[in-house]
Copies of this chain bind each other. A is one copy, B any other.
Amino acid sequence: MAARRTITGFSNPLVKFLRSLRDKKHRKREARFLAEGLRLLTDARECGVLPEILVMATGREAHPLLDTLEDAVAAAGGDVVEMDLDILAKVTGKDNPQAVAGVFAEFDTRLAGLDRAAAPIWLVAQALRDPGNLGTMLRTGDAVGAGGLILIDDCADPFSVEAVRASMGAIFTQKLAMARWDEFIAWLRSGPGQLVAASLRDPMDYRAAPYAAPCFLLVGNESQGLPEAYEAQCDLRVTIPMLGRADSLNAAVAGAVLAYEALAQLGKT
């Protein structure tokens, strides 16, 4: 067991620091984010990512994976801290906080950090506003063996507690990049890659479209969809049938339906 500090007061500077990470402005300034739960932190560890600070609730139940995590953090020179569950609840903003949370350094989110040949499928989201949708897209990306998620224009913060939670650990397995549209297009066209728009305008059925790896599947904003000018720059514009009254699917659902079709065609199922 590593040496531990125990924090007993709400006014402790570390508690204030941890709470500040629920706020995007502070996350960006600190370039740190919070993830909670033994499963998520174990996923991170198994992906080779350790928290700089590991926070555990006093009175938690013992668990061998927690011991492993604690030892790994201590061995890497990280900080191991205990605090009461009610303080941890304030940190994570949950009524039922999990007994463990971690502070991680944000990842490199430059396009230059992506190896497009590393995977047949990449997910791309434009102006995606809902952190739950964003996390769900990361989770879907993990499931289809995608390389990662590229966020275009002003999206929800992938490092928010909500997005990290919805990703169910995929924040640690999927590469992330953020870029403006022009920057993304310039990067995409500098190498191989098929850009496919989930469109509400074009009549090509998504199951009839000839997907080719590396395939970049692009979904648009929850209420606006993709700008027409963006769609025009895509290699394919595909539609998912809508038989009812509604004219669109949830963005994360649309991304998943396309991703599984591309996966099937690209011979991975």
Contact = CB atoms under 8 A, between A and B. Distances in A.
Contact of A252 (B43, B170, B241, B253): B253
- Which of A136, A240, A241, A246 is the most central at the interface, judged by chain B CB atoms within 10 Å of its CB? A246
Interface in A237-257: 240-246, 248-250, 252-253, 256-257
A204 interface: no
A142 interface: yes
A104 to B, nearest CB: 17
Interface stretch (A8-16, A105-113, A261-269): A261-269
A136 B245 CA distance: 14
A244 B143 contact: yes
B205 A269 contact: yes
B243 A143 contact: yes
- Which of A166, A243, A263 is the most central at the interface, judged by chain B CB atoms within 10 Å of its CB? A243
A268 B249 contact: no
Counted per complex, copies of this chain come to 2
A209 interface: no
B173 A47 contact: no
Contacts of A173: 244-246
B145 A246 contact: no
B269 A207 contact: yes
A170 B244 contact: yes
Nearest to A245: B173
B139 A246 contact: yes
B264 A207 contact: yes
Given A207-B269, A241-B263, A252-B253, A169 B246 contact: yes
Given A141-B244, A205-B269, A243-B268, 9 more contacts: A43-B245, A136-B253, A139-B250, A142-B245, A144-B241, A168-B246, A170-B246, A241-B260, A241-B268
25 contacts: A132-B132, A139-B246, A139-B253, A140-B250, A142-B243, A142-B245, A143-B242, A143-B244, A143-B246, A144-B241, A145-B243, A166-B250, A168-B248, A173-B245, A173-B246, A207-B264, A241-B260, A241-B263, A243-B263, A243-B268, A250-B252, A252-B253, A253-B253, A253-B256, A257-B257
Q: Which 3 A-B pairs have the closest CB atoms?
A: A142-B244, A145-B243, A253-B256
